[in-house]
């Protein structure tokens, strides 16, 4: 029983680290976007740097996703703790599946944004 509780706690702490990592990535995206927008245009003589707020939205969404990951991991930790105490724990992949889909979709959005920034479609 104690091994299962310790495993549950290690899993929770791993999810917290994952959430913090996602939040840091979102924070870096927002700060880099603000930094690039503050640089003089002479630094980007031939580069077409988009001046929209999409990167800020993506960054904030990543920070929100990281915070949600931490919250949901705590909820899952408490739920698992209670089930382990009762001896009724059943393994579920729902949380992992949802977070994987959300992070994957956000990655696709970031990739699409980077492609559009690198190869603008306007002449």
Instruction: Check residue 92 and give its pLDDT.
Output: 83
Longest distance between any two alpha carbons in the chain, whole Å: 66
Give the predicted TM-score (pTM) of the model: 0.75
Assess whether pLDDT exceeds 60 at residue 115: yes
SS3 49: coil
Closest CA to 16 of 87, 60, 69: 69
Let me know: does 22 contact 66? Beta carbons within 8 Å: yes
**Residue 8 in tokens:** 């549950």
Spell out the residues 6+ positions from residue 97 whose beta carbon is closer than 8 angstroms to its own. Answer: none
Instruction: Check residue 82 and give its pLDDT.
Output: 93
Rounded to the nearest 10 degrees, the angle between the axes of helix 2-38 and helix 54-86 is 170
Q: How far is Cα 9 from Cα 15, in angstroms, rounded to an integer?
A: 10
pLDDT tens string 36-85? 666 665 555 555 555 567 888 888 999 999 999 999 999 999 999 999 99
Assess whether pLDDT exceeds 80 at residue 1: no
pLDDT tens string 13-37? 999 999 999 999 999 988 887 776 6
């Amino acid at each position: 029983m104690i091994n299962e509780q310790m495993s549950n706690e290690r899993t929770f702490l791993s999810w917290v680290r994952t959430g913090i990592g996602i939040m840091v990535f979102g924070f870096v995206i927002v700060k880099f976007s603000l930094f690039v927008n503050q640089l003089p245009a002479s630094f980007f003589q031939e580069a077409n740097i988009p001046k929209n707020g999409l990167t800020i939205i993506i960054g904030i969404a990543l920070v929100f996703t990281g915070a949600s990951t931490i919250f949901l991991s705590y909820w899952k930790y408490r739920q698992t703790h209670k089930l382990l105490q009762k001896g009724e724990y059943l393994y579920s992949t729902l949380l992992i599946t949802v977070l994987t889909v959300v992070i994957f979709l956000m990655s696709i959005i970031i990739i699409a944004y980077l492609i559009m920034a690198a190869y603008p479609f306007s002449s």
